[in-house]
């Protein structure tokens, strides 16, 4: 089924003269593992504009998760500059990063990271309670197609359903940015497509900027842009003339 | 309810087993705290309020005889606010229909019917009618034990004269909250009473008309007691003063004060141990939880929850458990305090026990519980706060395992792979293993304390009545008699053996310390009364010098070889410096003993006895007692069997109760620690245990791994338990030590074995439950679970 907004994607892509939402310049991140330094990022330059859906593609160990963590304010670079609008994300103190995450960012993880002792509705409420103008948990779950699973505990949901709860939890805050780390990594292809469809809809309907990190090249077709990361560096970038519909993606 | 609070609630429900263990341990600690504190406060409040209302004297003195005007001189002394003279007499009591005789302290009451200092409280009947003779007031304990009511007749024999009296009232006296016969360590209310009759009649019987033989004093505010006592002694010395003393040496006051001190000591010693165990349990539970919930913590932080919110969330877990424990503990404490107060009300005769539920102990208890919670939760909460979200999203690095010392020594080959797994795990967390063993050790040590005090009580009785006092009858004379008179006692039918002794009141002085005591001169070769130390060794009586109870020696800051000033308070009142020849670790009362020849030399007399010890044919003991009681010059007859029964009763009631409390506390601790250790081993090993099962281990073999871990901890606990147990027993013995009794500190190894047995039983019960956990172990999902 073709996506209703498909033709709009080219128009939705930002004018090149607009200021980017994210701007990373020379971002380097080195982890110290015992007695050796392990560089995860070695000077990444990247710009992302509001409303874009960007797929960051790379093999495991390429540093893409580290990049996502830095963009999401979960981690800070060892060197280089990162900015989100007027927030400096490099070298900020933890309190201001928390505020940044609270106000602007939604996360979706490969392993869902739901709180097993809370129901779907309560997991989403966790996010609603600290946001300033959230969706209601019911509405957020409705958007991911789980309106009839409100009171299920994570253990009573399938993997795809759990991931959709995680997405509902992420979008309930109406985040400006949705950062997704291998959102389909633990799912089979059919379930994965449903989850990608939800992310695509969030991007179009709520206007959130969406970043999807994956090692799955097929998913690249879904984005406005595809950024390839290898060995801690940006190895290439391409703009899709037309965004593929999630249902068309196969792997 | 907020989602995070809901998570907290569900987390609590999920770990309810360990949660309940924590609550139980906290509750036990706080119940002990609140119970003993409120009981101590109740006792203190009761004592203080009655002392104030009855104008309880500050100082007391007895003497031979002084004319009434001497009271004026005492009243004029600086620091003395009020003086009241009186007559006190030892009396034999004849009750209609009673064969076994009773004795009493008979005091004079002024015309108003009650002493002014230490006013009597009327329970039934009325005070003495002014101006009327032939009436007597009876202390309630004696009246109860002998079913006496106002109007009942009785006769007393004082100074060889018989007074026929009628009970006018049953009363309580602040001077006799517990009525103890001089020299006795426990009350025997059936055989010893406190009586008051009009002064005129008593003075006539005692040949003390216009004179007195005892005084009580109240001091002016700010007066220095020691100074006043010295002045009083100085004034009374020419009148045969037997030494004045303050409240501290007043038997009834001392008993109650000792009890208050012991309760306070209990409140200060047991709860910290229990709260320490609770803190340890909490730290283990929470740190496990934080480890397990790493991804959840990361998610919360990624969502935008602050570090503080996450820290408060996990801290809340500890706080909820602590508060639940505090609530149960405070309620339990109230109950325990009420029980203790009831026991006191039976033991100590106060007009009413003032048991008040005051808020301070509750508030303090809750604060203590919270402090324990923070102490236990601190580490884990700090970890949850510091956990960096990006790092937390990575799976935790596999723990750093390395061969343990045992393996490096080449002994590893003796262990099975499962055994090595166990050993490395415990070796990797040496602190936790050590603390867990320490928790079990604390429980065993508490158990040991309970067992040891019960054992001590039994051995105390055996010690006192089989090794120290071996006579059947202890006869005291109204005045010193020649040894020949004692020999005459041997002629009585049924008497097998008789030994004289000489007892004289003395004041011992060393530096600024002084102590009023009875110096007893014994025959070094005597068989019936010996000095035996706590290790049951008979200590020979030195030919020269004094032998003191170590308790008294320490109080006077004396050691063997020191010299002590002995002021004799009788006869020619010689004052001599004598050497402390030896000190002895004895258990009951305080002793000042010397050989009879040394006493003769001190007093400048030869072979005079104030008492005699007899052994007699068992069936004739009663007859001998009855015959001697009414004999002239006999002041009193004590029966070993009666004292033994009384001591056993007292110990049963106080120590057995204490032992039961300790046993419950110990059991709660053992189960708490062992359950927690097993639960944790299960949770942490779920994957390993599942792997073993998949590899083909039977459930029994896997259970064996779990059991081995618990058993290892029990074995590790034995050493510390022995040390801790001995320390607890020593501390407890030091706290309980009083003039009345000391508990033996020797700890039989069997107590450790018994405690270990109880701990093993608790562990076995927990391991039975663990068998069910293993049955429910879901092999597939345990292996799939991401750590």
pLDDT band at B568 (very low <50, low <70, confident <90, very high): very high
pLDDT tens track for B52-72 = 999 999 999 999 999 999 999
Taking CA–CA distances from A67, the nearest residue in chain B reads B390
Instruction: Report the sign of the C-alpha dihedral through residues B619, B620, B623, B624, in that order.
Output: negative
Task: State how beta strands A36-48 and A22-33 pair.
Answer: antiparallel
Please report the pLDDT score of residue B412 as a whole number. 57
Q: Check CB contact under 8 Å for B304 and A94.
A: no
pLDDT band at B563 (very low <50, low <70, confident <90, very high): very high
Using a 10 angstrom Cβ sphere, with 0-12 exposed, 13-18 middle and 19 or more buried, the burial of residue B39 is buried
Helix boundaries (H) for B108-197: 140-145
pLDDT(A167) > 80: yes
Taking CA–CA distances from A77, the nearest residue in chain B reads B390
Residues of chain B in contact with residue A115, where contact means CB-CB under 8 angstroms, are 7, 296, 299
pLDDT(A1) > 60: no
Q: Tell me, yes or no, if B304 comes closer than 8 A to chain A by beta carbon.
A: yes
Please report the pLDDT score of residue B648 as a whole number. 81
Q: Which of A109, A114, A118 sits opposite B10 (nearest CB)?
A: A118
Residues of chain B in contact with residue A118, where contact means CB-CB under 8 angstroms, are 3, 6-7, 10
Contact indicator for A212, A67 with CB cutoff of 8 Å? no
Please report the pLDDT score of residue B402 as a whole number. 58
Residues of chain A in contact with residue B299, where contact means CB-CB under 8 angstroms, are 107, 109, 113-115
Contact indicator for B529, B611 with CB cutoff of 8 Å? no
- The percentage of residues in chain B with a pLDDT greater than 90, rounded to a whole number, is 39
B 280-299 near A (Cβ less than 8 A): 295-296, 298-299
Whole-model pTM? 0.77
Contact indicator for A110, A216 with CB cutoff of 8 Å? no
Residues of chain B in contact with residue A102, where contact means CB-CB under 8 angstroms, are 303-305
Closest CA of chain B from A25, distance in Å: 20
Structure tokens at B762: 């608790």
Please report the pLDDT score of residue B696 as a whole number. 66
Q: Which of B295, B301, B305 sits opposite A111 (nearest CB)?
A: B295
- Among A114-128, B9-23, B317-331, the range with the most confident prediction by mean pLDDT is B317-331
Using a 10 angstrom Cβ sphere, with 0-12 exposed, 13-18 middle and 19 or more buried, the burial of residue B352 is exposed
Please report the pLDDT score of residue A12 as a whole number. 40
Q: E strands, A7-104, where?
A: 22-33, 36-48, 53-57, 79-84, 87-88
DSSP assigned state of B541: P
- The percentage of residues in chain A with a pLDDT greater than 90, rounded to a whole number, is 45
Contact indicator for B181, B103 with CB cutoff of 8 Å? yes
Please report the pLDDT score of residue A60 as a whole number. 85
Q: How far is CA B684 from CA A154, B8, B55, B713, in A?
A: 22, 21, 67, 16
pLDDT tens track for B571-583 = 888 999 999 999 9
Mean pLDDT score, A159-177: 90
Structure tokens at B24: 């139980």
Taking CA–CA distances from A95, the nearest residue in chain B reads B306
Closest CA of chain B from A133, distance in Å: 14
Q: Which residues contact B538 (CB under 8 A, 6 or more apart)?
A: B467, B530, B531, B532
Whole-angstrom Cα distance, residue B523 to residue B594? 9
Q: How far is CA B369 from CA A221, B374, B778, in A?
A: 60, 9, 37
Q: Check CB contact under 8 Å for B295 and A113.
A: yes
* Of B291, B287, B482, B267, the residue nearest B392 (C-alpha): B291
Instruction: Report the sign of the C-alpha dihedral through residues B379, B385, B388, B391, in that order.
Output: positive
More confident residue, B638 or A202: A202
Structure tokens at A128: 């609603």
Mean pLDDT score, B252-274: 87
Q: Tell me, yes or no, if B593 comes closer than 8 A to chain A by beta carbon.
A: no
Residues of chain A in contact with residue B305, where contact means CB-CB under 8 angstroms, are 98, 102, 130
Residues of chain B in contact with residue A30, where contact means CB-CB under 8 angstroms, are none
Q: Pick from A60, A67, A107, A166 the residue to mutate for testing the B interface (most B CBs within 10 Å).
A: A107
Please report the pLDDT score of residue B787 as a whole number. 38
Q: How far is CA B78 from CA A178, B71, B755, in A?
A: 90, 14, 59
Q: Which of B6, B295, B390 sits opposite A75 (nearest CB)?
A: B390
Whole-angstrom Cα distance, residue B406 to residue B387? 34
Closest CA of chain B from A166, distance in Å: 10
The full DSSP string for A122-173 is: HHHHHHHTT-SSPPPHHHHHHHTT-GGGTT--GGGS-HHHHHHHHHHHHHTT
Whole-angstrom Cα distance, residue B757 to residue B767? 15
Please report the pLDDT score of residue B236 as a whole number. 95
* Consecutive H or E run containing B65: strand B59-67
The span from the first CA to the last CA of chain A, in angstroms, equals: 18
Q: Check CB contact under 8 Å for B7 and A122.
A: yes
Contact indicator for B409, B427 with CB cutoff of 8 Å? no
Structure tokens at B145: 């034990």
pLDDT(A192) > 60: yes
pLDDT tens track for B417-451 = 667 667 777 777 788 788 888 888 988 888 888 88
* Of B556, B560, B507, the residue nearest B739 (C-alpha): B556
Q: Which residues contact B557 (CB under 8 A, 6 or more apart)?
A: B510, B511, B513
Residue B769, CA atoms < 13 Å, CB-side half-sphere: 14
Number of CB pairs < 8 Å for A and B? 84
Mean pLDDT computed over every residue of chain B: 86
* Of B257, B236, B211, B213, the residue nearest B507 (C-alpha): B236
Please report the pLDDT score of residue A102 as a whole number. 84
Whole-angstrom Cα distance, residue A187 to residue A218? 15
Q: 3-state DSSP helix/strand/coil percent for chain A, to nearest 5?
A: 35, 25, 40
* Of B663, B27, B305, the residue nearest A98 (C-alpha): B305
More confident residue, A14 or A226: A226
Q: Which of A66, A98, A114 sits opposite B304 (nearest CB)?
A: A98
Residues of chain B in contact with residue A130, where contact means CB-CB under 8 angstroms, are 303-305
pLDDT(A143) > 60: yes
Counting every residue written for chain A, the total comes to 251
Q: Check CB contact under 8 Å for B302 and A103.
A: no
Q: Pick from B10, B298, B386, B390 the residue to mutate for testing the A interface (most A CBs within 10 Å).
A: B390
Q: What is the CA radius of gyration of chain B?
A: 33
Q: Check CB contact under 8 Å for B304 and A66.
A: no
Taking CA–CA distances from A73, the nearest residue in chain B reads B302
Taking CA–CA distances from A123, the nearest residue in chain B reads B3
Mean pLDDT score, B530-536: 82
pLDDT(B524) > 80: yes
Please report the pLDDT score of residue B35 as a whole number. 92
Q: Which residues contact B460 (CB under 8 A, 6 or more apart)?
A: B587, B588, B647, B651, B741, B743, B744
pLDDT band at B95 (very low <50, low <70, confident <90, very high): confident
Q: Which of A140-154, B199-213, B262-276, B773-787 has the lowest mean pLDDT?
A: B773-787
Please report the pLDDT score of residue B752 as a whole number. 87
Please report the pLDDT score of residue B228 as a whole number. 95
Whole-angstrom Cα distance, residue B376 to residue B433? 16
| Angle CA B532–B537–B542, to nearest 5 | 65
Q: Which of B164-178, B396-410, B546-560, B586-600 has the lowest mean pLDDT?
A: B396-410
Q: Which of A74, A99, A126 sits opposite B389 (nearest CB)?
A: A74
Residue that has been written with the tokens 């007043």 in this structure: B250
Q: How far is CA B243 from CA B179, B181, B197, B233, B448, in A?
A: 21, 18, 25, 6, 43
Q: Tell me, yes or no, if B784 comes closer than 8 A to chain A by beta carbon.
A: no
Q: Pick from A33, A108, A122, A138 the residue to mutate for testing the B interface (most B CBs within 10 Å).
A: A122
* Of B397, B451, B398, B399, the residue nearest B662 (C-alpha): B451
The values of phi and psi at residue A22, to 5°, are -105, 140
Q: Tell me, yes or no, if B6 comes closer than 8 A to chain A by beta carbon.
A: yes
- The percentage of residues in chain B with a pLDDT greater than 70, rounded to a whole number, is 94
Residues of chain B in contact with residue A94, where contact means CB-CB under 8 angstroms, are 307
* Consecutive H or E run containing B138: strand B135-139
Q: Residues of A at the B interface (Cβ-Cβ below 8 Å)?
A: 65-66, 69, 72, 74-75, 94-95, 98-99, 101-103, 105, 107, 109, 111, 113-115, 117-118, 122-123, 125-127, 129-131, 169, 173, 181
Q: Which of A185-189, B168-172, B318-322 has the lowest mean pLDDT?
A: A185-189
pLDDT tens track for B631-673 = 778 877 888 887 788 778 777 777 777 777 888 888 888 888 8
Closest CA of chain A from B413, distance in Å: 31
Please report the pLDDT score of residue B746 as a whole number. 75
Whole-angstrom Cα distance, residue B291 to residue B286? 8
Closest CA of chain A from B406, distance in Å: 26
**Strand ranges across the sheet with A36-48:** A36-48, A22-33, A79-84, A87-88
Please report the ipTM that was assigned to this predicted complex.
0.71
* Of B165, B159, B85, B181, the residue nearest B128 (C-alpha): B165
More confident residue, B183 or B413: B183
Instruction: Give the relative orientation of helices B307-347 and B3-14 as an angle to the nearest 10 degrees.
Output: 50
The span from the first CA to the last CA of chain B, in angstroms, equals: 30
Q: Check CB contact under 8 Å for A74 and B390.
A: yes
Taking CA–CA distances from B387, the nearest residue in chain A reads A74
CA of residue B49 relative to chain centroid, distance: 24
pLDDT(B373) > 50: yes
Neighbours of B699 (CB within 10 A): 14
pLDDT tens track for A81-128 = 999 998 899 876 777 888 888 889 988 888 787 887 888 998 898 888
DSSP assigned state of B214: E
Q: Which of A95, A117, A126 sits opposite B14 (nearest CB)?
A: A117
Q: Check CB contact under 8 Å for B304 and A105.
A: yes
Please report the pLDDT score of residue B220 as a whole number. 95
Taking CA–CA distances from A137, the nearest residue in chain B reads B3
Residue B6, CA atoms < 13 Å, CB-side half-sphere: 17
The values of phi and psi at residue B742, to 5°, are -125, 145
Contact indicator for A229, A56 with CB cutoff of 8 Å? yes
Burial pattern B567-580, b for ≥16 Cβ within 10 A else e, equals bbbbeeeeeeebeb
Q: E strands, B571-722, where?
A: 575-584, 592-595, 608-616, 634-639
Closest CA of chain A from B3, distance in Å: 5
* Of B377, B386, B394, the residue nearest B301 (C-alpha): B386
**What dihedral do alpha carbons B14, B16, B21, B25 form, nearest 10°?**
110
Contact indicator for A82, A71 with CB cutoff of 8 Å? yes
Closest CA of chain B from A37, distance in Å: 16
pLDDT band at A4 (very low <50, low <70, confident <90, very high): very low
Q: Which of B349-363, B495-509, B626-640 has the lowest mean pLDDT?
A: B626-640
Q: Which residues contact B208 (CB under 8 A, 6 or more apart)?
A: B65, B87, B202
**What dihedral do alpha carbons B199, B205, B211, B213 form, nearest 10°?**
-90
B 357-396 near A (Cβ less than 8 A): 388-390, 393
Please report the pLDDT score of residue B778 as a whole number. 65
């Amino acid at each position: 089924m073709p996506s209703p907004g498909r033709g709009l994607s080219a128009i939705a892509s930002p004018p090149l003269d607009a200021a980017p939402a994210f701007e990373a310049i020379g971002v380097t991140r080195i982890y110290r593992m015992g007695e050796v330094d392990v560089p995860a990022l070695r000077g990444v330059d990247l710009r992302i504009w509001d409303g874009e859906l960007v797929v960051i593609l790379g093999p495991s160990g390429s540093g893409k998760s580290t990049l996502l963590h830095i963009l999401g304010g979960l981690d800070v670079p060892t060197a280089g500059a990162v900015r989100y609008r007027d927030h400096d994300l490099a070298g900020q103190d933890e309190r201001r990063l928390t505020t940044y995450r609270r106000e602007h960012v939604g996360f979706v993880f490969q392993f869902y990271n739901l709180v097993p002792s809370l129901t779907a509705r309560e997991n989403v409420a966790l996010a609603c309670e600290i946001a300033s103008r959230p969706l209601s948990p019911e509405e957020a779950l409705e958007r991911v197609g789980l309106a009839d699973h409100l009171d299920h505990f994570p253990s009573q949901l399938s993997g795809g359903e759990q991931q959709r709860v995680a997405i509902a939890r992420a979008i309930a805050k109406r985040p400006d940015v949705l950062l997704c780390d291998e959102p389909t990594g633990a799912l089979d292809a059919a379930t994965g497509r449903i989850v990608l469809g939800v992310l695509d809809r969030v991007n179009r309907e709520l206007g959130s900027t969406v970043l999807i990190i994956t090692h799955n090249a097929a998913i690249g077709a879904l984005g406005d842009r595809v950024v390839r990361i290898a060995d801690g560096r940006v190895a290439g970038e391409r703009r899709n003339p037309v965004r593929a519909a999630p249902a068309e993606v196969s792997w | 309810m907020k989602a995070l609070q809901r998570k907290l609630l569900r987390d609590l429900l999920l770990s309810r087993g360990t949660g309940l263990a924590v609550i139980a341990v906290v509750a036990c600690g706080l119940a002990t705290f609140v119970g003993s504190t409120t009981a101590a406060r109740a006792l203190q409040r009761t004592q203080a309020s009655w002392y104030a209302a009855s104008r309880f004297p500050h100082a007391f003195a007895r003497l031979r005889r002084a004319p009434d005007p001497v009271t004026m001189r005492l009243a004029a002394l600086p620091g003395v606010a009020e003086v009241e003279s009186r007559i006190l007499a030892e009396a034999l009591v004849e009750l209609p229909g009673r064969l076994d005789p009773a004795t009493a302290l008979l005091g004079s009451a002024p015309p108003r019917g009650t002493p002014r200092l230490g006013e009597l409280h009327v329970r039934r009947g009325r005070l003495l009618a002014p101006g009327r003779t032939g009436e007597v007031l009876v202390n309630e304990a004696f009246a109860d034990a002998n079913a006496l009511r106002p109007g009942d007749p009785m006769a007393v024999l004082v100074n060889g004269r018989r007074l026929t009296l009628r009970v006018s009232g049953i009363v309580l006296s602040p001077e006799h909250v517990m009525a103890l016969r001089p020299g006795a360590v426990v009350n025997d209310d059936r055989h010893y009473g406190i009586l008051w009759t009009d002064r005129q009649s008593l003075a006539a019987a005692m040949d003390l008309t216009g004179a007195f033989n005892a005084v009580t004093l109240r001091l002016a505010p700010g007066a220095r007691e020691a100074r006043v006592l010295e002045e009083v002694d100085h004034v009374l010395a020419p009148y045969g003063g037997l030494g004045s003393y303050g409240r501290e040496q007043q038997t009834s006051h001392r008993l109650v004060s000792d009890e208050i001190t012991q309760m306070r000591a209990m409140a200060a010693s047991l709860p910290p141990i229990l709260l320490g165990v609770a803190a340890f349990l909490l730290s283990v539970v929470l740190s496990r939880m934080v480890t397990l919930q790493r991804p959840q913590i990361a998610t919360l932080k990624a969502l935008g929850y602050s570090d503080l919110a996450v820290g408060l969330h996990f801290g809340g877990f500890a706080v909820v458990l602590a508060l639940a424990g505090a609530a149960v503990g405070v309620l339990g404490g109230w109950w325990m305090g009420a029980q203790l107060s009831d026991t006191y009300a039976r033991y100590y005769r106060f007009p009413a026990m003032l048991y008040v539920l005051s808020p301070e102990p509750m508030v303090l208890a809750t604060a203590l519980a919270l402090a324990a919670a923070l102490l236990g939760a601190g580490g884990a909460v700090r970890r949850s706060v510091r956990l960096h979200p990006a790092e937390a999203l990575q799976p935790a690095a596999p723990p750093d395992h390395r061969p343990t010392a045992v393996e490096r020594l080449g002994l590893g080959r003796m262990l099975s792979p499962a055994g090595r797994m166990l050993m490395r795990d415990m070796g990797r967390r040496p602190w936790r293993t050590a603390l867990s063993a320490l928790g079990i050790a604390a429980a065993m040590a508490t158990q040991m304390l309970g067992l040891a005090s019960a054992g001590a009580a039994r051995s105390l009785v055996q010690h006192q009545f089989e090794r120290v006092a071996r006579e059947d009858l202890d006869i005291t004379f109204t005045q010193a008699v020649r040894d020949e008179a004692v020999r005459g006692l041997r002629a009585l039918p049924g008497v097998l053996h008789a030994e004289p002794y000489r007892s004289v009141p003395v004041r011992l002085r060393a530096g600024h310390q002084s102590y009023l005591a009875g110096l007893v001169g014994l025959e070094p070769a005597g068989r019936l009364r010996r000095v035996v130390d706590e290790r049951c060794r008979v200590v020979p009586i030195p030919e020269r010098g004094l032998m003191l109870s170590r308790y008294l020696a320490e109080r006077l800051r004396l050691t063997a070889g020191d010299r002590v000033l002995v002021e004799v308070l009788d006869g020619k009142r010689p004052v001599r410096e004598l050497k402390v020849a030896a000190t002895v670790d004895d258990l009951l009362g305080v002793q000042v003993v010397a050989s009879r020849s040394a006493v003769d030399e001190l007093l400048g007399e030869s072979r005079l006895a104030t008492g005699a010890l007899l052994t007699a044919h068992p069936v004739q003991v009663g007859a001998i007692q009855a015959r001697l009681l009414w004999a002239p010059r006999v002041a009193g007859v004590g029966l070993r069997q009666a004292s033994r029964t009384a001591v056993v009763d007292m110990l049963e009631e106080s120590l057995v109760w204490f032992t039961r409390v300790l046993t419950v506390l110990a059991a709660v601790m053992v189960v708490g620690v062992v359950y927690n250790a097993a639960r944790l081993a299960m949770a942490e090993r779920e994957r390993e245990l599942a792997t073993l099962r998949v590899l083909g281990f039977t459930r029994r073999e896997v259970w064996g791994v779990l059991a081995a871990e618990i058993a290892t901890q029990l074995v590790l606990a034995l050493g510390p338990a022995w040390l801790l147990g001995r320390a607890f027993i020593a501390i407890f013995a030091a706290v309980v030590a009083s003039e009345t009794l000391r508990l033996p500190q020797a700890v039989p190894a069997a107590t450790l074995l018994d405690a270990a047995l109880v701990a093993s039983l608790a562990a076995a019960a927990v391991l039975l439950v663990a068998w069910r956990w293993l049955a429910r172990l879901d092999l597939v999902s345990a292996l799939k679970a991401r750590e």
